């Protein structure tokens, strides 16, 4: 059984090893500094004897290296191994950053819980459980506190402790949902000790809190000081499951690029708005108020236009009532219905019935009435004649899906 030495010695990038077994493209080494995929951290990249790694995994308690092509190796061969420096460094920084973000969360949210994490190519996600939802202000503060912990240059250490002692540590993070599987990653070969990673006190003497920043059972690779992480750019949040908030952040070039993009967008918005960046929220709020007012005024104008067009429809006398009947186009049927109810009335110059047929697509019809003529029955008569469906009350009704030319429907409504 071969365990990875990467968590204990994460800075090793080159080493020599003896081949323990070969099965096709799968190679086992008597000792290895390659990190196998697990616990949210991806497998190391690199080469064994010049052949690239496809993946590194733990199978049946031992680390197995799968190469990109089948090697010419046998048990007992000595091989030169190289760990991809850039990718390992990124993973170390990203993994430690997740501990820093969790530590920041502990200072912001009561009853904070840990529900997993994952390192991606461009961003890292950490799943948190909180009593209350995390809002935008919380997200900003999470980023601020996390970067403060980086600036404070806090030491990062790891040690193996008996499980009972580890669980007694104040504030230690244990993922209860995956504890059984995760413990296999934490345990040493010959005992039941848990690997505990601690983000501790500042090394620059600027202490604001005597507690360690974060304490967690963890089998990953880490930097030995938070200053090595660099800036942490908190990106967004989502809710992948009930009671869980997923926080996404970036470190390294992706985080730097995102911060630059945000700054560029803020500067462009400042230029277009003619206000300093610090005044953008107030400027946007004013624009929102202006837009709402304009939308209200626009709706009023639309209603006036509809009412005006309906009042201009030609009229005809039918069964002792005055009907205003005609076609309209490109106007919402609900707006027409509202306008039609305003046009009908008791006055001598106001029609008793307004019937408007929409010329767009399959014809639809809106009918409003004073009640002496039943608008619902008018719609029933139209749909009996031309298909479709609809209905309504004696004073307002609508029908649609008519299988006829609009002018045919108008002729029908005029009783011609």
The per-residue pLDDT for range 151-160, each reduced to its tens digit, is 999 999 999 8
Cross-sheet strand order for the sheet of 154-162: 154-162, 193-202, 214-217
Query: Does residue 38 or residue 182 have the better pLDDT?
Result: 38
| From 129-143, 251-265, 320-334, the region with the lowest mean pLDDT | 320-334
Please state, in angstroms and rounded to a whole number, the distance separating the CA atoms of residues 308 and 104. Answer: 62
Same domain, 139 and 187: yes
Same domain, 266 and 135: yes
Same domain, 67 and 106: no
Q: Which residues constitute the domain of residue 68?
A: 14-83
Q: 281: which residues sit within 8 A by CB, 6+ positions away?
A: none
**Count: domains in the chain:** 3
| From 58-72, 78-92, 260-274, the region with the lowest mean pLDDT | 260-274
**Which CATH number do you get for residue 69?**
2.40.30.130
Query: Does residue 112 or residue 332 have the better pLDDT?
Result: 112
**Which CATH number do you get for residue 156?**
3.30.980.10
Which helix (DSSP H) or strand (DSSP E) does residue 397 occupy?
Answer: strand 396-400
Q: 115: which residues sit within 8 A by CB, 6+ positions away?
A: 127, 128, 129, 175, 177, 241, 244
pLDDT at residue 184 greater than cutoff 60: no
> Could you write out the DSSP letters of every residue in 250-271?
EETHHHHHHHHHHHHHHHHHHH
**Which CATH number do you get for residue 376?**
3.10.310.40
Among 160, 32, 14, 23, smallest CA distance to 80 is for 14
Query: Which pLDDT does position 206 carry in this prediction?
Result: 63
Provide the phi-psi class of 7: left if phi over 0, else alpha when psi is between -120 and 50, else beta. alpha
Query: Does residue 352 or residue 184 have the better pLDDT?
Result: 352
Same domain, 73 and 111: no
Q: Are the CB atoms for 220 and 37 separated by under 8 Å?
A: no
Determine, yes or no, domain membership for 280.
no
What confidence tens digit (pLDDT) does each residue in 317-331 have?
988 888 888 888 766
Query: Which pLDDT does position 181 carry in this prediction?
Result: 33
Query: Which pLDDT does position 61 carry in this prediction?
Result: 85
Same domain, 72 and 120: no
What confidence tens digit (pLDDT) does each residue in 108-134 have?
998 888 888 999 999 999 999 988 889
Determine, yes or no, domain membership for 214.
yes
What confidence tens digit (pLDDT) does each residue in 366-409 have?
888 888 888 888 889 888 988 888 888 898 888 888 888 888 88
Same domain, 151 and 239: yes
Residue ranges with strand state E in 87-192: 113-119, 124-129, 154-162
Determine, yes or no, domain membership for 329.
yes
Determine, yes or no, domain membership for 64.
yes
């Amino acid at each position: 059984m071969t365990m990875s030495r990467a968590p204990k010695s994460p800075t090793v990038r080159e080493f020599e090893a003896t081949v323990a077994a070969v099965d096709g493209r799968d190679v086992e080494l008597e000792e290895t500094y390659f990190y196998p995929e697990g616990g949210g951290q991806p497998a190391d990249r690199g080469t064994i004897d010049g052949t690239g790694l496809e993946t590194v995994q733990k199978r049946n308690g031992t680390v197995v290296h799968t190469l990109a092509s089948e090697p010419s190796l046998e048990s007992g061969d000595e091989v030169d191994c190289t760990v991809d420096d850039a990718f390992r460094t990124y993973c170390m920084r990203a993994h430690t950053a997740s501990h820093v973000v969790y530590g920041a969360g502990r200072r912001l949210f009561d009853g904070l819980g840990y529900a997993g994490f994952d390192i991606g190519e461009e961003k890292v996600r950490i799943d948190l459980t909180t009593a209350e939802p995390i809002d935008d202000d919380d997200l900003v503060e999470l980023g601020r506190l996390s970067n403060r912990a980086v600036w404070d240059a806090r030491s990062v250490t790891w040690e193996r402790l008996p499980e009972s002692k580890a669980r007694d540590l104040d504030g230690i993070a244990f993922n209860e949902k995956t504890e059984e599987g995760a413990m296999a990653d934490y345990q040493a070969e010959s005992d039941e000790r848990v690997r505990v990673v601690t983000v501790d006190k500042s090394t620059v003497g600027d202490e604001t809190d005597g507690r360690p920043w974060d304490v967690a059972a963890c089998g990953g690779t880490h930097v030995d000081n938070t200053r090595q992480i660099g800036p942490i750019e908190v990106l967004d949040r989502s809710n992948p499951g009930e009671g869980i908030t997923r926080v996404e952040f970036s470190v390294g070039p992706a985080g730097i690029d995102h911060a630059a993009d945000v700054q560029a967008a803020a500067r462009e918005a400042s230029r277009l708005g003619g206000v300093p960046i610090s005044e953008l929220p107030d400027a946007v709020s004013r624009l929102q108020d202006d837009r709402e007012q304009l939308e209200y005024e626009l709706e009023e104008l639309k209603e006036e236009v509809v009412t005006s067009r309906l009042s201009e429809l030609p009229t005809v006398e039918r069964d002792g009532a005055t009907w205003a009947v005609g076609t309209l186009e490109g106007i919402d049927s609900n707006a027409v219905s509202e306008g039609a109810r305003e046009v009908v009335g008791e006055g001598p110059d106001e029609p008793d019935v307004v019937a408007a047929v929409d010329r767009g697509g399959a014809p639809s019809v809106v009918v409003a009435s004073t009640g002496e003529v039943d608008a619902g029955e008018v719609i029933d008569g139209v749909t009996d004649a031309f298909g479709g469906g609809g209905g309504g009350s004696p004073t307002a009704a609508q029908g649609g899906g008519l299988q006829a030319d609009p002018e045919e429907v108008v002729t029908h409504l005029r009783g011609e």
